[in-house]
Copies of this chain bind each other. A is one copy, B any other.
Amino acid sequence: MSLRYAILAILTAAPLTGYETAKRFEGSVGHVWHAPDSQIYPELRRMEAEALVEGREERWGPKGTKTRYYITEAGEAAFRSWMATPLKYAPWRDVAHMQAAYFEWAEPASVRMHLKQHAAHYTEQIAQWSSQIEAIRSHEHPMIAARLERYPAEQHERIVAFKAFAYEGLIRLAQAEVDWARSGLELLEQLDGDAPA
């Protein structure tokens, strides 16, 4: 159900075609929520059937047409109501930590590789998200720019602050992953120091 609300969220900034929506989920929004186009097209149609969005046919060149989806009042209401509802916290499911619990089944070299990869992956994520935050704060981010145009100036501070806040949370998490992986490398040295090959 979250995909639906992610779609509604980006449609509050600007009406989009299915294709554009899918692109957003590869790029900016994709940093917080990922979805393939094969999920997005049918979901948009379901949402249209429920009157949360309205699809308007547009000409596209001499022969083609495309559908641009506009969020409706009902759609905004649904989004607002979701925003007011407390989240259900799903039970944990984390492969990396699950695997780490059984590292005694892997070669020390393999463990080292896993941990280094883990740190590298999240370090890269931090870099990406940091540059997103900068673009958000400077209003250079295209989605932010479109959104700010649509809403009155007194809301701009909140809009920007919350987007940046969300990314800051992701960065905190990623930093925790990096720190954990590093502490794992230290642990490994300790264990192998005690009983070297």
Contacts and interface: CB of A to CB of B under 8 A. Distances in A.
A105 B80 contact: yes
Contacts of A91: 30, 34
What is the oligomeric copy number? Answer: 2
Contacts of A180: 168-169, 172-173
B100 A80 contact: no
A103 B32 contact: no
Interface in A69-113: 79-80, 82-84, 86-87, 89, 91-107, 110, 113
Contact of A187 (B107, B165, B170, B173): B165
A172 B168 contact: no
Interface string A32-56: 1110000000000000000000000
18 contacts: A2-B93, A2-B95, A9-B98, A9-B102, A31-B92, A32-B101, A79-B102, A84-B107, A86-B114, A87-B96, A87-B99, A87-B117, A102-B162, A104-B159, A169-B177, A172-B176, A173-B176, A175-B176
Interface of A: 2, 5-6, 9, 12, 30-34, 79-80, 82-84, 86-87, 89, 91-107, 110, 113-114, 117-118, 121, 154-155, 157-159, 161-163, 165-170, 172-173, 175-177, 179-180, 183-184, 187, 191, 194-195
Given A83-B106, A169-B176, A172-B179, 9 more contacts: A9-B101, A12-B105, A80-B106, A83-B99, A84-B110, A87-B95, A101-B165, A103-B165, A168-B183
